[in-house]
Structure 1
Amino acid sequence: MVLPEPTSPPPTRLPGWPAMLAASAAVAALAAAFTFVPWLHAHGMYLRHGVRFEGEWWRVLTSMWVHLGWKHYLADVAATVGLLLLAGRVARIREMLAVLVICGLVAQVALLRMPAVGWYGGLSGAAHGLALWTALRLLQEAGWPRVIGVVIAVVVLGKVWTEQSWLAALVFDPSWGFNVARGAHAAGAMAGLGCWLLQEWWWRRQ
């Protein structure tokens, strides 16, 4: 007897609210430490020259947690925590946190191919990847989760398209008061898609 290939992720034990709140608090606390502790902020931010020519490779790992003040911190952390809470409907905590970190790392590594970006900090690249991965996972559910997944996917893909980072990886945004590395958004979104495809391939192998 040949069983049909699965069309949705296998059943999983979803996290409860205490675990979700703990994960969200951990993300917020880590970002706060790298944003508001001067030594961590200075040594955690992505600096292209330091990474490429001075061996400061750790900046690729830490820069996603560094933010440029309260406004930047609150916006990125609020978006990331909201996505984690949505993802908690369909995924385990270790899955969503792994996707967040992987997308952040891919976004930072991609910056090495963008000479215009001399420095960078923030969760926005990782959040774009987490958002697209969450949307694709929600699309595999029935009812309102699928509708929410469609909306998130359209918003993320539409945002990446309208930003057109392949034409200008770095654009000044007067509402923020600093240059926004749109290239990190596109790279993060692509990483989120890659994480979803890799999971689908793995589940179909089982």
Structure 2
Amino acid sequence: MKDQFLIRKIVFLAVIASISACMQVFKDAFIYWQDGLLAEFWRLWTAHWVHVGWMHYFLNIAAFICLPFIFPRVSIWHFTALLLLLPPLISLSFYWFLPDIEAYAGLSGVLHGTYAAVACVHLMYKRERNFAAFVLLLILAKLVWENTAGSMDTAQLIGSPVLVEAHLLGVIWGIVLAGVYLAGSYFIQNE
């Protein structure tokens, strides 16, 4: 049973990475463009699955592939829910609260949100609590570093400025979604 779960995770990750790579070929049709975003609503999701270049793609996909192995309790269903909910939440936050952001491409905001959400939920498991707290501390330290010292090395590596607002929004929405999930789980268990 455990082998089947592992195989399903690997297939899931391979499918998502492949779809993202295919979208990368036609990235102009999928990136976030603030003008006309609501008329081309698919960009609410797809902007987070295309990247400014292949190096950017490989870095994000590597971090994406690591998550279910770092937190093995994450089910494909929960992972999918986060991957469906976080992109439009981040995109709509850009649209409504950060209208100066005209274009965006990349998975890093969703990655930050997914890691934060999964770590928050894993705080509830006694055996994983210390590791989950450590991951949340690393995320917080990264956010502080990016918003004070900057991320020029990463920008040089991917060939584009890093939109640290996406990382912050991803973490905020990830924590919100984790809170909703935990509250829902609590109410279901106590009925």
Q: Taking structure 2 as the reference length, what is the TM-score of the superposition?
A: 0.86
Distance 1:132 1:201 in 2: 16
Mapped partners of 1:49, 1:179: distance in 2:
20
**Counterpart for residue 19 of structure 2:** 30
2:57 maps to what in 1?
73
Name the aligned partner's letter for residue 29 of structure 2.
H
What residue number does 1:95 align with? 78
Q: CA deviation at 1:14?
A: 11
Cα offsets for 1:176-196 (capped at 9, x unmatched): 321211111111111110111
Distance apart, 1:93 and its partner CA: 0.8
- Please list, as runs of the form range in 1=range in 2, the aligned pairs for 1:57-206 lying within 5 A after superposition: 57-87=41-71, 89-112=72-95, 113-143=97-127, 145-164=128-147, 173-206=155-188
Q: Distance in 1 between matches of 2:73 and 2:4?
A: 9
Higher helix share: 2
| Aligned partner of residue 74 in structure 1, secondary structure | helix
Which of 20, 35, 56 aligns to 1:49? It is: 35
Q: 1:64 to 1:149 in 2, by over 3 A?
A: same
Aligned to 1:17: 6
Alpha-carbon distance, 1:85 to partner: 2.4
Larger radius of gyration: 1
User: What secondary structure sits across from 1:136 in the alignment?
Assistant: helix
Preserved CA contact (<8 Å) 1:14 1:90: no
CA offsets per residue over residues 143-167 of structure 1, 9 Å max, x none? Answer: 3x333212210111222233339xx
Change (3 A) 1:59 1:186: same
**Alpha-carbon distance, 1:139 to partner:** 2.2
* CA displacement at 1:15 relative to structure 2: 7.1
Q: CA deviation at 1:126?
A: 0.5
For the residue of structure 1 that corresponds to 2:106, the secondary structure is coil
The share of aligned pairs that are identical, in percent, is 23
Q: C-alpha separation between the residues in 1 aligned to 2:142 and 2:51?
A: 21
Residues 121, 182 of structure 2: 8 Å contact kept: no
Structure 1 CA distance for aligned equivalents of residues 54 and 157 of structure 2: 14
Query: For structure 2, which runs of at least 5 residues remain unmatched after alignment?
Result: none
**Residues in 1 aligned to 2:104 and 2:3: alpha-carbon distance in whole angstroms:** 34
Amino acid at match of 1:92: S
Match of 1:178, SS?
Answer: coil
